[in-house]
Amino acid sequence: MNREPEADRLAEESAQPDDIEILEIVGVNESADDVPADEEVVIAFDEEPADRPVAPAQSPARDGADGDLAETRERLLRLRADFENLKKRIEREREEYFRHATASLVARLLPVLDNFERALAAARQAGSTDSFFEGVALIQRQLLDEMRREGLRTVECLGRPFDPTLHEAVATEANPRLPANTVVEEMQRGYYFDDRLLRPALVRVTVHGRTDERRGPDAKEPSDG
């Protein structure tokens, strides 16, 4: 019985490989050494679900425009604050300038007030009460009222203690009935302008001891030696 042809046919069939369908996975290396054993493989799908919201993309140009707008707004706010401060400073300097100019004018008019007062005092001593005297007194009061509206005030001194910051002693008087350094006569009126001393008052003050018209209240008695 000849079995060699049958054996050869079976050997040829076993030698031919079966038809195997090979699936290729794109993106995965064929070598097993390239993928660690403990690493999770994530498969991404190209298609997005229809109901998933899509975040709007922020362009670099938009971000730059927003930054420039904020910087411009901040710069404008600073310029506005600087402008307001400048306006206030200019207004303050303007007021100070006019107050200084007014004080200078008032100071130059003080000798005119002094002359009015001297003229009226001399007329009173002479017993003059005619219309001319009344007219001069009216002009003196009107001038003084206008200067008071600008901020002029008199320095109170009669009967008050001597204050070297407000008074200037030009004469003394011995009066044991009054405390020492008491103002007993106003020889020239002193004035304030607003809160600033414009001119000190020239006064006579009391001292204990002999009277010395040429020395102030702080003068010391000469020694015998």
Specify the CATH number for the domain of residue 130: 3.90.20
Residues 97 and 126 in one domain: yes
Residue recorded with tokens 């919201």: 53
Last residue of a domain, one of 147, 168, 199: 147
Task: Answer for the pair 174, 148: CB distance below 8 angstroms, yes or no.
Answer: no
Residues 107 and 143 in one domain: yes
Give how many domains the chain has, as a whole number: 2
Domain membership of residue 26 (yes or no) is: no
Domain membership of residue 176 (yes or no) is: yes
Give the predicted TM-score (pTM) of the model: 0.53
Domain membership of residue 56 (yes or no) is: no
Domain hosting residue 112, numbered range: 70-147
pLDDT computed for residue 71 by the predictor:
86
Q: Which 8-state DSSP code applies to residue 16?
A: S
Which residue, among 160, 145, 147, has the nearest Cα to 194 in the 3D structure?
A: 147
Residues 74 and 137 in one domain: yes
Taking only the tens place, the pLDDT of each residue in 56-88 is 555 555 666 777 888 888 889 999 999 999 999
Torsion of CA 87, 93, 95, 96, to 10 degrees: 160
Above 90 in pLDDT, residue 44?
no
Rounded to whole angstroms, how far apart are CA atoms 49 and 51?
Answer: 6
Q: What is the mean pLDDT of residues 6-10?
A: 60
CATH code at 166? 2.30.22.10
Strands 201-207 and 167-174: parallel
Burial class (CB in 10 A: 0-12, 13-18, 19+), 109: middle
